[in-house]
Structure 1
C-alpha cells in the first residue's frame, strides 16, 4: 500500500519501541518521515532500517520548547508541509508518592505532557493548512489508575482528555485528533518488567488475547488513525491492549 505517499509525518520518540515501529510503518506506505528523538545514534539506526519513502532525523528534547520549534522548522524547510504528527515520546517513573522526588515528577510531566503540548502547538499551523491529523500515545494508565505510578498516571490521564479537547476545538478546521492507549508493550521502557516472569504472568492472566503487546501492534493502529479509513474518527482514545480494558477488574472465576 501507499496510503501516505506525498504526506509528511513527524514521529517523536522514534529512536526505539513504538516510535520506531511507527516510523517504519509510515515509511513502508510511502510517507516522508521525520524521526525525532534525543538519541541521534538510535535515530540513525532506525532510519537505516526504513523501507520506502523519504526520511530525515532531528535530535530534540520534546520537553524543551525551543528545540521543538527548531524541529518543526527543520521539517518544514525540508518537506514544506506537515500532514501527521505522532506525539509518542515519553518516560516513566514508579514508586510510592512519598518517595517521588520533585525532579522525577517534573521529568515525567515535561516529557509526557508538556512535550505533547509543545509539539502540537508548533506543528498546528501546518496541520491546519494540510487538514492533517494528530495521534497521541496515551496509555491504559491514562484511563485507569496503577499502583505506585502517580506521575505517569497523571500525565497520561491529561493526554487522554487533551486529546478529546483538541478534537472538539480543531474538528471544524478539518484536523482530527486521536490517541492510542496501549497496555504492557515490549519496548525499552518495559525492559525491566519483561525480565520479571512473575509480573509478566500476572499480565498474561489479565490480557484476554494471552500475550504482551508488540510495538508493531500499536504502530499499525496509529497508521489506521492517520489514514483516510479513519476520516470520520476523532476524539477517540483507542485501547490497544489485547482486551485488558474489557474486564471490570474482578478475578477469573471457575
Structure 2
C-alpha cells in the first residue's frame, strides 16, 4: 500500500454503518497518527464529541482537521509521564462534562532480545504500553460507571502469540489483553464494558518503510489469508462497533483484526 493509497483511503468516510454516537464524549489516545487517528475521525464522523491525545500538537491538529472546534479537544501529552492520564481525563470532564468511551491506542514498539536487552527498553515499553493503560483506566472508569460506558484498548496479535526478537513488546501487549479481561469481570455489574481490538501489521506512516521492502511485504502477505495489509480504518471500524449498542452483550473480548493471520498454526503454505 503506497502513501497515495493510504491518503485515498483516509479521504473516504470510515464506516459504512451509522452508529448513534451523537453527543457521546469519546477520549482517544495515540490519536495523532495511524490507528488512533482513524478511530478519532471515525467517532467524529458519527457525531461524537472527541478529545484527542498524543505527543505532537501538530499531528493532533491534523487528526481533527475539518471538524467544528466545539466538538473537539486536543491535548498534547505523553501518557507515560506519571499523572498525565489523570490530567487528561480531568480536562475532558471539565470541557464536556461526561465521558462515554475511552479508546486507548497509545503504544510503543521496540525490538528486544534476552541477553542483549538495551538499556531502558523494558521500562519504556512497560511504561507506555501497560502502566499508562492502567492509570488511564483508573482515572476514567469512575466516569464510565456514570454513563455505563466503554473502555477499549488497542492491543496487538503480538499479545496472543510470540514473535522473534520482540519479547518485551509482546509481554506488555499480553499483559494488556489479560488486564482487559480482568477489568471486564470487575466492571460488568457496573454496566461498563471493557474490550480490546488486537490488530495485525497495519499500514501507517510509521510502518511504510517496512512495507516498501518488497521481500518483507511478500512474506507478510503470504501469512495473511485476506492477502492485503490492514489500513487503520479497518481497525477503527471494529472499534466503532465494539463501543456501540450493537455490541451491548460483548465484554472481555480480545478481537483480532488481522486479516486472518492469527488463525494459522504457523505451518507454511503448501
Normalised-by-shorter TM-score class: over 0.9
* In 1: Cα distance, 2:69 partner to 2:41 partner: 9
Unaligned runs of 5+ in 1: none
* In 2: Cα distance, 1:155 partner to 1:206 partner: 24
- Please report how far the alpha carbon of residue 53 of structure 1 lies from its aligned counterpart in structure 2 after TM superposition: 8.0
Partner in structure 2 of residue 136 of structure 1 = 153
- Please report how far the alpha carbon of residue 75 of structure 1 lies from its aligned counterpart in structure 2 after TM superposition: 0.3
CA RMSD of aligned residues (A): 1.4
Compared CA separation, residues 81 and 211, structure 1 to 2 (3 A): same
Alignment of 1:208 with 2:199, yes or no, is no
1:145 partner SS: coil
1:182-238 alpha-carbon deviations (Å, 9 max, x no partner): 101012342332232211111100100000000000000001000001000000000
* In 2: Cα distance, 1:234 partner to 1:65 partner: 28
What does 1:185-196 correspond to in 2, within 5 Å? 185-196=202-213
* In 1: Cα distance, 2:124 partner to 2:137 partner: 19
Partner in structure 2 of residue 159 of structure 1 = 176
1:169 partner SS: helix
Which of residues 72, 82, 85 in structure 1 aligns to 2:99? Answer: 82
Figure out how many residues of one structure are paired with residues of the other and give that number.
253
Unaligned runs of 5+ in 2: 1-17
Query: Would you tell me which structure has more helix in proportion to its own residues?
Result: 1
- Please report how far the alpha carbon of residue 49 of structure 1 lies from its aligned counterpart in structure 2 after TM superposition: 4.1
Partner in structure 2 of residue 8 of structure 1 = 25
Partner in structure 2 of residue 252 of structure 1 = 269
Partner in structure 2 of residue 232 of structure 1 = 249
1:104-135 alpha-carbon deviations (Å, 9 max, x no partner): 21111111111111111111110011110111
* In 2: Cα distance, 1:74 partner to 1:51 partner: 18
Partner in structure 1 of residue 48 of structure 2 = 31
Partner in structure 2 of residue 220 of structure 1 = 237
1:80-122 alpha-carbon deviations (Å, 9 max, x no partner): 0000001110010014233322312111111111111111111
1:99 partner SS: coil
Which segment drifts farther, 145-154 or 41-50? 41-50
